[in-house]
Amino acid sequence: CDSYDFSLIERHWQDFWADNKTFYAEDFADKPTWYVLDMFPYPSGAGLHIGHPEGYTATDALKRFKKAQGHNVLHPMGWDAFGLPTEQYAIKTGEQPAVVTKRNIARFKEQLRAIGLTYDWDREVNTTDPHYFRWTQWIFLKLFKKGLAYVDEKPVWFCPELGTVLANEEVLNTPEGPRSERGSFPVERRPLRQWVLRITAYADKLLDGLKDVNWPDSTKRLQSNWIGRSEGAEVTFSLDGFDDTLTVFTTRPDTLFGATYMVVAPEHPLLSKITADDKREAVESYVRKAANKSDLERAELSKEKTGVFTGCHAINPVNGEKIPVWVADYVLMSYGTGAIMAVPAHDERDFAFAKEFGLKIVQVISDETHTEAQRHGGELTEAYTGDGKLINSGLLDGLDVTAAKKKITDKLASENRGKATVNFKLRDWLFSRQRYWGEPFPIVWVSEADYATVASGAAFAGLLPEEPVTCTMDGKKWFAVPLPESALPLTLPETESYQPSPDGQSPLANIPEWLEVAIDPATGNVTARKELSDTSGLVEGLRETNTMPQWAGSCWYYLRYIDPKNAEALIDPKKEDYWGMPDLYVGGAEHAVLHLLYARFWHRFLYDEGVLKTPEPFTELFHQGIILGEDGEKMSKSRGNVVNPDDIIAQYGADSLRLYLMFLGPLEAMKPWNTQGIEGVVRFLRKLWREVIAEDGSVAARVDDTPESPETLRVLHETIKKVTADYTALGFNTAISQLMICLNAISKAGRMNRETAKTFIQLLAPLAPHLCEELWERLGGAAGGVSAAPWPVCDESLLVNDTVKIIVQVNGKLRGELEVSKDLAKEDILAQAKGLERVLAQTEGKTVVKEIYVPGKIVNLVVK
């Protein structure tokens, strides 16, 4: 069909939507609102990959559908544009990161547009724009004021190659040792001055809040495990020959009688003191080796157990027994108290360790399966982690685990030797990077005396935290002064060199004009010292030179879309009321913990501060599945299996790309790309074109104005019903199957009423919008385009109930059931049968060698 020139048509309608701002949202319009949010991209130099348009097409289609249903839709887009790759590019080329970012964004925008993705560009946000990050800095200052930001000298992962500190999550365990996630460079532990956010103060709230969100279970579980609430007790042991005591955290205080040795982490502050002279050499060598292992590696269950005896003994508080204290790296300093009581009979790691080093094993829990001999010192062959009754445990004997926990905890508490506690796996959030391309901290460091002066200055009333934030630099103690709001945004200085210094300092530390400032305590003015001839009456200080991590800007961007240009406030409460939080958030499951947890933390904090009215940002979350390469492997440059959306569009058009992406399988499923497979949807679109448009480009003769036949009307209204339900549930692949069935029926009828054609086009328009706008116009559809037409409504009275149930089998096994109209054609029934999810699961990757259809009864697919 020569008259279907998709590239011309697609460009035309993209212009039309842009010029008419068809999909722009209107504040306070008298309609129900619907806010759909995409995870905004990092505008890398490589451009869009096929993973972007998958989720983005889904939300674009939904947005078009909801608009047709009468909603005032908010569908914005922006750029998560600070970050390492752009900075590394700048280091290599000397080009300014801001310039590179701008170019990448322009390219991304062009690519999004070419897919027919329409956003409200009046609401575009860019995390690197000072008008935006002014508010990122503002939120930071609120956290700072509340005592939720502090500075700590921390052993952190440092990557010499990247010249920066990395968060734990950015470090991967590899057979060659710990490496950076980005670039796979070796990393090492180094103590460095760092900003840290006290997210642990929100651990309970973040956990509780998960009850109120509708997220995929797996994501909720991941996040809840990441927070890792653990109830247990602290128990204090005295140490033989020392006044010091050793406190452990245990979730199993009931097993105290079975504690036969103790273990401290290599970093434990008491270790050096309690180490006996003849053990010192071995202990110190062990500690040095442990220093370069990641917590993840150390905590691995299957890891070979290593450790050294310290020569010191502790005294078990319940039975007075002397038990050896060991050092071993399977105990982490960062969890609990950094020390454990080891109960080899009931803990797998302790069991393996005790076996390795010949330590005593005493069973204290038992059920009916244990023999009398076992209970009395017979050897267990593995740790018994099951339930049961207490044995060998004095006052606890005969109790069940729960009762024993309570009894022993109460007893220890009454003797001041222990107490019930709760621990979290969650760690405070390492919030600084030694990089250029990030938000500068709105902080100036001053001396203690100067801090007092600043504190008494009018401009700083109400800005300082209760406890000053301090740090030590070059042997001197410094105090953190926040910039007053009037000094925001604090922008990045221009520089020639984006390279961090090898000692881990940010490049900002090398720009004295920016670094050295003077503060006026009365006005809050902060001025570069080189611009002042006289600094008397002012306080001299140094700016913080670290920058914020990329997470900062992505923590709150969804708020700014609601009120992107507000210079007075982060968000106008009236607009917040009007739009509310996103009705749907669509993005990758890889963000289950970090982004989705950090954003919840900031949101919850802003709620507590009275800035926001809701406690949770994302009540509805959906993860699109990963699209694999044609080979079924993850797409990656090194595998050479990357599909570029630009190429697909050039060859088949954006509508085909969109339709195919949504037809590949359930949106949430992981599925391989198949360029051959796209031919099917291309044929479908061309067929639609031919049904409606004649060779010469006019409306085809088979489209007429005589009343529609009851059969066609029935299929059409069945389709309205099914497609509406499917779109609502994000079931695009099954909606497309139904549309294909409907087109077949129309085509077979040999003619159609003009309204039938228009309704069909409306149903398809969210997925293949360009083609549908074009056909709509040619059919004389209402002005404003198909995008402005109200969604068709199913007339239930047209759906006659003469349906039959058909059993669907694959290789003779029952895999599903279909309810279809009695006279549905064989090929349509087969197509529906093949589209059933349970059938798909059986046929995936196989070929259907035979299709058997017993009319009105059964479909059997034979696959090999």
**What angle is formed at CA 550 by the lines to CA 176 and CA 99, rounded to 5 degrees?**
105
Which residue, 341 or 611, has its beta carbon nearer to ligand ANZ?
341
Residue 747 and residue 716: Cα distance in Å, rounded?
Answer: 12
Tokens of 678: 């796209």
Which residue, 145 or 425, has its beta carbon nearer to ligand ANZ?
425
Strand partners, 138: none
> At its nearest, how many Å lie between ligand ANZ and the CB of residue 225?
10
In 3-state terms, what secondary structure has residue 783? coil
Residue 621 and residue 218: Cα distance in Å, rounded?
Answer: 12
Tokens of 612: 């926001």
What single letter denotes the amino acid at residue 226?
A: W
What single letter denotes the amino acid at residue 628?
A: L
- Contact residues for 295 (Cβ-Cβ < 8 A; gap 6+): 168, 332, 334
Site membership for ligand ANZ, residue 307 (CB under 6 A): no
Whether the Cβ atoms of residue 849 and residue 862 lie closer than 8 Å to each other: yes
Which residue, 423 or 550, has its beta carbon nearer to ligand ANZ?
423
Residue 621: CB atoms within 10 A of its CB come to 22
- Contact residues for 411 (Cβ-Cβ < 8 A; gap 6+): 395
- Choose the binding region for ligand ANZ from 34-42, 249-257, 589-597, 609-617 (rule: CB under 6 A): 249-257
Q: Which H/E stretch holds residue 236? A: strand 229-239
Contact pick of 101, 104, 164, 255 for ligand ANZ (by CB under 6 A):
255
- Choose the binding region for ligand ANZ from 248-256, 524-532, 586-594, 777-785 (rule: CB under 6 A): 248-256
Contact pick of 120, 124, 329, 347 for ligand ANZ (by CB under 6 A):
347
Which residue, 340 or 859, has its beta carbon nearer to ligand ANZ?
340
- Choose the binding region for ligand ANZ from 108-116, 343-351, 355-363, 654-662 (rule: CB under 6 A): 343-351
Site membership for ligand ANZ, residue 250 (CB under 6 A): yes
Site membership for ligand ANZ, residue 423 (CB under 6 A): yes
CA neighbor of 802 nearest in space, from 817, 816, 818, 823: 823
Which residue, 347 or 718, has its beta carbon nearer to ligand ANZ?
347
Site membership for ligand ANZ, residue 412 (CB under 6 A): no
Site membership for ligand ANZ, residue 331 (CB under 6 A): yes
Residue 438 and residue 500: Cα distance in Å, rounded?
Answer: 13
- Choose the binding region for ligand ANZ from 247-255, 500-508, 688-696, 739-747 (rule: CB under 6 A): 247-255
- Choose the binding region for ligand ANZ from 13-21, 148-156, 176-184, 246-254 (rule: CB under 6 A): 246-254
Contact pick of 156, 343, 703, 736 for ligand ANZ (by CB under 6 A):
343
Site membership for ligand ANZ, residue 332 (CB under 6 A): yes
* DSSP per-residue letters across 516-566: EEEE-TTT--EEEGGG-S--TTSEEEEE---B--THHHHTSHHHHTTSTT-
How many residues bind ligand ANZ (CB under 6 A)? The answer is: 17
Site membership for ligand ANZ, residue 252 (CB under 6 A): yes
Site membership for ligand ANZ, residue 251 (CB under 6 A): yes
Tokens of 405: 């926990």
Site membership for ligand ANZ, residue 245 (CB under 6 A): no
Residue 412 and residue 431: Cα distance in Å, rounded?
Answer: 39
Whether the Cβ atoms of residue 81 and residue 105 lie closer than 8 Å to each other: yes
> At its nearest, how many Å lie between ligand ANZ and the CB of residue 207?
14
Site membership for ligand ANZ, residue 836 (CB under 6 A): no
Which residue, 239 or 331, has its beta carbon nearer to ligand ANZ?
331
> At its nearest, how many Å lie between ligand ANZ and the CB of residue 773?
57
Site membership for ligand ANZ, residue 329 (CB under 6 A): no
Site membership for ligand ANZ, residue 344 (CB under 6 A): no
> At its nearest, how many Å lie between ligand ANZ and the CB of residue 229?
9
- Choose the binding region for ligand ANZ from 311-319, 332-340, 442-450, 610-618 (rule: CB under 6 A): 332-340
Site membership for ligand ANZ, residue 341 (CB under 6 A): yes
Strand partners, 442: none
3-state secondary structure 698-763: CECCCEECCCCCHHHHHHHHHHHHHHHHHHHCCCHHHHHHHHHHHHHHHHHHCCEEHHHHHHHHHH
**% helix / strand / coil in the chain, to the nearest 5?**
40, 20, 40
Site membership for ligand ANZ, residue 340 (CB under 6 A): yes
Radius of gyration of the chain measured on its C-alpha atoms = 33
Site membership for ligand ANZ, residue 628 (CB under 6 A): no
By CB under 6 A, name the binding residues for ligand ANZ: 230, 249-252, 255, 331-332, 335-336, 338, 340-341, 343, 346-347, 423
